[in-house]
Amino acid sequence: MSFTESRARGLVLFVVVLVALGCAASETPRAKEPSAGDELEAAVDPLPSWNNTATKAKIIAFVDAVTDPDRPEYVEPEERIATFDNDGTLWVEKPAYAELLFALDRVKSLAQVHPEWKSQEPFRAVLEGNLDAFVAAGRRGVIEVLMASHTGMSAALFNTIATEWIRDARHPELEKPYTELAYQPQIELLRYLEANGFSTFIVSGGTVEFLRTFADPTYGIPPERVIGSSVETRYEVQGGKPSLLRVPEVDFVNDKGGKPVGIHKRIGRRPILAFGNSDGDFEMLEYTTLGSAGVRLGLLLHHDDAEREYAYDRESKVGTLDRALDAASGAGWVVVSMKNDWNTVFVEE
């Protein structure tokens, strides 16, 4: 097993909750086809789960600007790249990232073939449900648990295991499958952008194969438009079939400064819209908007809705939103208030 700690920044995920900040807003919406009449406009609102606030108006104004060939802000369709973080941006990330809970569950399942784990940290802490001790083991402990749960098997077997977990797992507090904890307004936004010629991508610190097990059924984002962290992988032929063996080494960490690198290597174009919710998305939003010649849109989802979801930002260890929140107004990033800008949070079953 290899520990590439310096490459693993941002993979450390804990369990905390925090406070809220409000974001007042109010505004009239803008419809795409003013000639169609008010009733029809209302009927075809592409973002019905978004309240008619300044936030929604900014999103629609941006899309109108970059898709109108007569305007100077026009962007050719192939350059309309929109990147979305996953945890905390497309679905719930509190009290802990789903992928971490998956990893902890896997350690418990694998413990019977690893009797040595009973006396070996960080596994002992995980098996005893002692999350404080697990957290105390630090990054190295998290990487060990991720490698034990994510590697040493074929990509096909990992896919089966992760798919079954996603199907069966329930959020520890909201008691629903994770796939029902995707945000309805964001799914509307993805479809709205795609209908306007955008290519949408998930750009997450999570591992790419884990993300792919739910990205298409949950968000309608196919595997080739999912960018994530990855483990080393080796091609082999086993039993007359091609196999991709997952090796216990970190290959790439797609978080913080890794997000622009992942975007560049995978897409090869700079996004014109990026949507995140934490300091892990700072560089992705910066890469998207800073020093660009054209109009660009950076968006930060602010979790300020303790009633319907969670309220947290600066002090939270999961999804810390501090540096990016400070930078938002200077950078022109739009802070989306879950409380005020969304009339619906979760997808309808």
Query: What is the contact surface with its own copies in residues (CB under 8 A)?
Result: 78, 155, 199, 208-209, 212, 222-224, 226, 230, 233-237, 240-242, 244, 257-261, 264-269, 283, 286-287, 290-291
Nearer to its own copies, 130 or 199 (CB): 199
Distance in angstroms (rounded) separating the CA atoms of residues 318 and 18? 10
Residue 119 DSSP one-character state: G
Residue 325's CB: how many other CB atoms inside 10 A? 19
Strands annotated E in the chain:
81-84, 199-207, 226-238, 241-252, 273-276, 297-304, 311-312, 334-337
Shortest distance in whole angstroms from residue 9 CB to its own copies: 12
Whichever of 93 and 209 has its CB closer to its own copies, that residue is: 209
Q: Distance between CA atoms of 105 and 166, rounded to whole angstroms? A: 12
Smallest separation, CB 218 to its own copies (Å):
15
Q: How far is the CB of 130 from its own copies (least distance, A)?
A: 35
Q: Please, are residues 205 and 11 in contact by the beta-carbon 8 Å criterion? A: yes
CB-side exposure of 324: number of CA atoms within 13 Å? 28
Give the list of residues 6+ apart from residue 6 with CB closer than 8 angstroms, or none: none
Rama region for 139: left / alpha / beta (φ>0; ψ in -120 to 50; rest): alpha
Q: Which is nearer to its own copies, 219 or 342 (CB)?
A: 219
CB–CB of 299/333 below 8 Å?
Answer: yes
Gap between the Cα atoms of 266 and 289, Å rounded: 19
Identity of the residue, 69 or 268, whose beta carbon is nearer to its own copies in the bound complex: 268
Give the 3-state secondary structure of residue 339. Answer: helix
283/304 with CB nearer its own copies: 283
In whole angstroms, how close is the CB of 33 to its own copies at the nearest point?
29
CB of 271 to its own copies, least distance (A): 11
**Nearest-approach distance from CB 239 to its own copies, in angstroms:** 8
Nearer to its own copies, 226 or 273 (CB): 226
Shortest Cβ 288–its own copies spacing (Å): 9
Pick the closer one to its own copies by CB: 46 or 257.
Answer: 257
- In the bound complex, what is the minimum distance in angstroms from residue 216's beta carbon to its own copies? 9
Rounded CA-CA distance 263/318 in Å is 23
Closer by beta carbon to its own copies, 252 or else 346 = 252
Q: Rounded to the nearest 10 degrees, what angle do helices 258-266 and 282-289 cross at? A: 60
